[in-house]
Amino acid sequence: MYQLLPPPPRNRQVDLAEVYAYPAGAPRWVRANMVATVDGAATAGGKSEGISGEADKRIFGVLRALADVVLVGAGTVRAEQYRPTRVREQYQAARAAAGQAPTAAIAVVSRAMDLDWSQPLFTSPAVPTIVLTATDAPQDRIDAAAEAGAEVIAAGTGQVDLALAVERLAERGLGRILCEGGPHLLGQLAAAGKLDELCLSVAPQLRGGDSMRILAGPDLTEGLPLILHSLLTEDGFLFARYLVGGTHGSAAGSGKEG
């Protein structure tokens, strides 16, 4: 893998944990990780797997290894057949020093809580899975989630208030938040003003058709300005790390580490 921006010291190997390090001292930081083709398709056959690659999967693993919690929508959990995050031995010392659990928890956003509680995501995680739902979610499904070992956190009434959900996670010491989508969840986060960073993998292929983009939902009428922080490449893929800037984000003038 090669680092294009910023130019690295000569002959230095790319340290992905360093390139994607969370900013020091930030009590809450919401990072999204998405993959798309050159023509903007975020899925192939309804899944992201068809447009991913080995280097993309390595970065995916590093981002999970750095996070406290992985935020994901219920539709993506069902479509991608989500499993618990893995405990990665090479990160255990760093996670322990930072006061983190052995691996990131998965936090599923679901108003209806229409989830299969017999799946490994709920029955065998190294860290209990979290379900972010509304205060008026069906009580029988709340009970089923608790029985399966999941932690249920209510945020909002009638629907999940994502801004409040992010704060609920941060209050529990889960401030390094990695959003893996899908596009509707990412769109809601951006609209709520809770997105601090976007990590985008651009796959060297074209898909055409009517595939969904990485962002779906309400128009961001004024746009959401992004600042390119770093750019890597391998096997034709581009891996960009953008910070949200301007009046909508917290990147401008924050002096973040890299």
Distances from the Cα of 206 to the Cαs of 44, 132, 175, 211, 236, in angstroms?
10, 35, 36, 11, 13
Domain that holds residue 48: 34-248
CATH (domain of 43) = 3.40.430.10
Indicate the average pLDDT of the chain: 92
Task: Specify if 131 maps to a domain.
Answer: yes
Do 133 and 152 meet the contact criterion of CB atoms below 8 Å apart? yes
Task: Specify if 201 maps to a domain.
Answer: yes
Task: Specify if 61 maps to a domain.
Answer: yes
Query: What's the pTM?
Result: 0.93
Task: Specify if 107 maps to a domain.
Answer: yes
Which residues lie closer than 8 Å to 111 by C-beta, 6 or more apart?
133, 134, 137, 159, 160
Looking at residue 246, its pLDDT comes to 55
Do 153 and 130 meet the contact criterion of CB atoms below 8 Å apart? yes
Number of domains in the chain: 1
Report pLDDT digits (tens) over 147-204. Answer: 999 999 999 999 999 999 999 999 999 999 999 989 999 999 999 999 999 999 999 9
Task: Specify if 95 maps to a domain.
Answer: yes
Task: Specify if 92 maps to a domain.
Answer: yes
Report pLDDT digits (tens) over 209-247. Answer: 888 999 998 899 889 999 999 999 999 999 999 999 853
Task: Specify if 173 maps to a domain.
Answer: yes
Do 144 and 173 meet the contact criterion of CB atoms below 8 Å apart? no
> Does 29 have pLDDT greater than 90?
yes
Task: Specify if 199 maps to a domain.
Answer: yes
